[in-house]
Structure 1
Amino acid sequence: MNARVSKSRYERLLPKLRNELLDAQARLREDGSFALALILTGVPAAGRSETVNELLEWLDPKHISVHALRAPDREDRQRPPLWRYWRTLPARGRMAFYFGGWYSEYLALALHSPGKARRLSERLFERIRSLETMLAADGVRVVKLHLHTDAKTQRKRLARLSADQLTRWRTTREDRWLARHYKQVARASARVVKATDQAAAPWHVIDGTDEEHRLLTVGRVLRDELRKTLRQASAKKKARSPRRSSNRRASLSLTAPATAQTDEEYEIALAKLQGRLASLTRRTRFGRHALVLAFEGLDAAGQGGAIRRITHALDARQYQVIPVVAPTAEESSYPYLWRFWRYVPELGSITIYDRSWYGRVLVERVRGLTPEADWRRAFAEIREFELELTEHGVAVAKFWLDVSKEEQLERFRAREADSLRRFKVDKEDWANRRYYDAYRSAAAEMIKRTDAESARWTLIAADDKKMARLAVLKTVCEAVERALD
């Protein structure tokens, strides 16, 4: 502690460091394969704000966003805690600086509700470790800095700032409260560092007592992290070679829908289930929950028809249907799950994904569109994503609609022959028929590895469209009822 750098030495070393940082930032943009998220925590008056201001002077600020997120507002509280951070992640080639970042929730609890912090800390830290591991593996380098100073220095700085009319605005009531509880702040910070320090996102604890030492140290850490990640990105590009999965045969245990009914019986059953769903989603208690439905299945298995029978029972202001296709250029510049987090519903609302985040372990795996390491890693990332949803009161129901090869062929031909429905089948659909068995095998592993008590899969034999639709509606109703109980 109390490391110092003279002003003359600082001024001598700074130009070279600034050039190195600018060069690393330019290479980050040129490489375009990763982003950098810089998180700054620290005690009040340790120099976080001054440090960020200086970094923005040294670097090209056009390619940096700064986030000082306050206590969650109404929109934030309507969704899982990590939602607001996913929204602010930097795209590949860019940097984002966070004051506190996703550590703010625990630090606030530790200081203002220590009992609650002790009860929740294990899960909060697990959530953070999982997030940072996923980000590091999916193109976001997380650099974590904790700026520290001793209590005596902190008191002097706050007193000096408060005494000057021109700098008084830089101190807040919260800063003064935290200064009075210095030991409590230091203990909470030490626990955070110890619990979340990991190879994927290590902590750098920096003495903030001397300004010149602090700025040089932060600049060097940022430069070194950029250089290290650029080297890793270069090596990864050389080694990256997507290939098709071997897809050993595995069986699917399908739910056989009820026996065939007459058209009249079907319409009666459909109306009853739609009425049941309409009633459930209009209850006052549903406002404390949300609903996410994820549809997967073989081509022409009837996902679209099943979704329409659900939406006919809903208030159009209450839901959104997200058709998932190949990612856009913008979506590809973020971690894989970013585009799904964007549409997580607020409490009282419903999001229906027509295809979903499972594309990584289905089409991307089967067609060799992503490296094996990425789709294998995705199983754990998906489980964590769904856990984030269900912990916040979101009911999650997942459907695999299966259709026989013969029925699929018949539906393809019927669509081609119908001028109003021919858009529903294209060359890609026909090409996918070659991978029919591979898709079902990949689906079997997917279901085995991601079926959870709080986010269950329902597998439906869908050769009979009408019976499959009834089975889907019944499952959706049951999922909402469980959430409301």
Structure 2
Amino acid sequence: MSAANHRVLHEALTGRRLTKLEYGHELPKLQDRLLDAQFELRKQRTRAVAVIVTGIPGAGRSEVVNELLNWLDPKFVTVYGFRPPNEVERQRPPLWRYWRVMPPKGRIAILHAGWYEEFLADSVRATERDSVVVKREVERIRRLERMLVADGVAVVKIHLHVSPELQARRLRRLARDKATRWRVTAEDRWMARHYARVERVFEHCLEQTDQRPAPWRVVDGTDRQHRAYEVGKVLLAGIDGRLAGEERPVRVKRPAAARQRALRKLLPTNHPGPRVAEEEYDRELEVLQGRLALLSRKRRFAKASVVVALEGMDASGKGGAIRRITAALDARQYRVVPISAPTPDELARPYLWRFWFQLPPRGNYTIFDRSWYGRVLVERVRGLAAPADWQRAYEEINEFERELAEHGVIVAKFWMSVSKDEQVARFAERDRNPLKRFKVDPEDWLNRKSWDPYQEAAADMLALTHTSHAPWTVVPADDKRWARLAVLRSLCDRIEARLG
């Protein structure tokens, strides 16, 4: 669909029809090919398919979805409809409810309007929308779809369209019959009365969000048989991977050399950092924990939430810092999420899926012991992610954190910077202590052998993902007491600045 064509919906109404004979002849062949493609999708499990179906009232969205379910093996297809966000959904960023239903590789998800639902509804009803807001919503959708396609989710977008005359006839026919009048809502009637306005909104949306990795396909809904057949062909192309054009490789802009050198100085290898005496530590710890407790009980905090991400080399003190945070909080108010190697279920979905799933409701904390930065740290260093995947992850992570911040989530990120000598001393101490021996495993020693590549990866991470809405705090961590106080102090400052 060309964005330059400003009458794409009108021109899609070709009036093409399939006779009963043609439909009966062609449909079995299409069904057979769809089932074969679905079987191969399930067998290979290298990609998933997300089908977005939009359309004006009376164009036949529900009928099309029902037909697809009849043609496919329904055990491996899930259909989702979205109403206005409920209380649980409103407490998270707008995309949260769509991430929750993202299909795993090998499966198909059909989403009624999907992430276009709210954008279209808001645009249709509003007499005038802030152009900056609209631009941001379009950008959000385009980035999401590019990321999904790059992560193995084929995004198939279908829009069904009919003329205003046919729409009116269909809605009247449904409304006259007691058995079907429930299908015509007040919203449908309103949209039918404002057909021209609705058409302009849909057309603008399609033009702004049509892109090579996730193109729109407009289907004429005039003839039911032709409509079904065309939608089936579009879905087949999506399953086979023939819809999305070839994407250009992501090129990551390297940090400026001067900034890179400055960041490396924050990641010491053998330089002792600041220290604090035990008596002073105990006194300051009590003050900071009391401050955090009071901030978390403020009335304004109930409208915010906090995501804390702690990263650092092994034995850098992440766990100790987390325990000093949680000691100040109500146990009902937080969750600690330790991140390790992804499970098979997590590997079957886009990389960020498991982190979206853990986002807290308002008034709560989620504390990540390691986080989504694993892709640009351990996965990069150990070769667990392809270069193209970890290179595009910087932009995807920045967008993820921007989504959180725009919803009022306070994002606090800490890099616990421990020296090489201090790390090996802590390994030895843990080996000697029976109660801490479990904290050291062969993976830790293996990671230590890659110290320099980890430091380089960390410097790139800090340079490329330090933003105004989600800044990094680099904490010298050779002295555990000093590091714990620094984390608490920075976290309190972040929350205080957000609450005012």
Q: Secondary structure at the match of 2:410?
A: strand
Of stretches 424-433 and 109-118 in structure 1, the one that deviates more from structure 2 is 109-118
Whether 1:5 and 2:18 are equivalent positions in the alignment is: yes
CA RMSD of aligned residues (A): 2.0
Alpha-carbon shift at residue 117 of structure 1 (Å): 5.8
Whether 1:380 and 2:395 are equivalent positions in the alignment is: yes
Alpha-carbon shift at residue 420 of structure 1 (Å): 0.5
User: What is the aligned counterpart of 1:369 among 374, 378, 384?
Assistant: 384
| Kept after mapping to 1: 8 A contact 2:51/2:156 | yes
Rounded Cα–Cα distance in structure 1 between residues aligned with 2:261 and 2:275 = 33
Whether 1:63 and 2:76 are equivalent positions in the alignment is: yes
Of stretches 99-108 and 255-264 in structure 1, the one that deviates more from structure 2 is 255-264
Alpha-carbon shift at residue 232 of structure 1 (Å): 9.8
Q: Deviations over 1:336-379 (max 9, x none)?
A: 00000001111111100000000000000000111000000100
Rounded Cα–Cα distance in structure 2 between residues aligned with 1:80 and 1:372 = 29
Match of 2:85 in 1: 72
Equivalent position amino acid for 2:173 in 1: R
Q: Deviations over 1:314-350 (max 9, x none)?
A: 1110000000000001111100000000011111111
Q: Deviations over 1:210-268 (max 9, x none)?
A: 111100100011112212369999xx9xxxxxxxxxx9997142599984332111100
Equivalent position amino acid for 1:30 in 2: K
Q: Structure 2 matches for 1:204-223, cutoff 5 A?
A: 204-223=217-236
Q: Structure 2 matches for 1:314-393, cutoff 5 A?
A: 314-393=329-408
**Can you give the 5+ residue segments of structure 1 that lack an aligned partner in the other structure?**
237-246
User: What is the aligned counterpart of 1:264 among 266, 273, 279?
Assistant: 279
Rounded Cα–Cα distance in structure 2 between residues aligned with 1:469 and 1:265 = 13
Match of 1:305 in 2: 320
| Kept after mapping to 2: 8 A contact 1:110/1:188 | yes
Alpha-carbon shift at residue 118 of structure 1 (Å): 4.1
Equivalent position amino acid for 2:375 in 1: R
The change in CA–CA distance for 1:363 and 1:471 in structure 2 (over 3 A counts) is same
| Kept after mapping to 2: 8 A contact 1:4/1:210 | yes
Match of 1:104 in 2: 117
Equivalent position amino acid for 2:224 in 1: E
User: What is the aligned counterpart of 1:416 among 422, 431, 434?
Assistant: 431
Rounded Cα–Cα distance in structure 1 between residues aligned with 2:236 and 2:22 = 19
Match of 2:59 in 1: 46
**Can you give the 5+ residue segments of structure 2 that lack an aligned partner in the other structure?**
1-13, 250-259
| Kept after mapping to 2: 8 A contact 1:28/1:230 | no
| Kept after mapping to 1: 8 A contact 2:263/2:463 | no
Match of 1:240 in 2: none
Percent identity over paired residues: 53
Alpha-carbon shift at residue 115 of structure 1 (Å): 2.2
Match of 1:452 in 2: 467
Equivalent position amino acid for 1:122 in 2: K
Aligned residues: 473
Match of 1:170 in 2: 183
Q: Secondary structure at the match of 1:251?
A: helix
For normalisation by structure 2, the TM-score amounts to 0.92
Alpha-carbon shift at residue 437 of structure 1 (Å): 1.2
Equivalent position amino acid for 1:413 in 2: A
Q: Structure 2 matches for 1:5-44, cutoff 5 A?
A: 5-44=18-57
Alpha-carbon shift at residue 460 of structure 1 (Å): 1.2
Q: Deviations over 1:425-472 (max 9, x none)?
A: 011111111011111110000110000011010111111010011111
Rounded Cα–Cα distance in structure 1 between residues aligned with 2:239 and 2:499 = 48
Alpha-carbon shift at residue 4 of structure 1 (Å): 1.2
Q: Secondary structure at the match of 1:219?
A: helix
| Kept after mapping to 1: 8 A contact 2:18/2:226 | yes
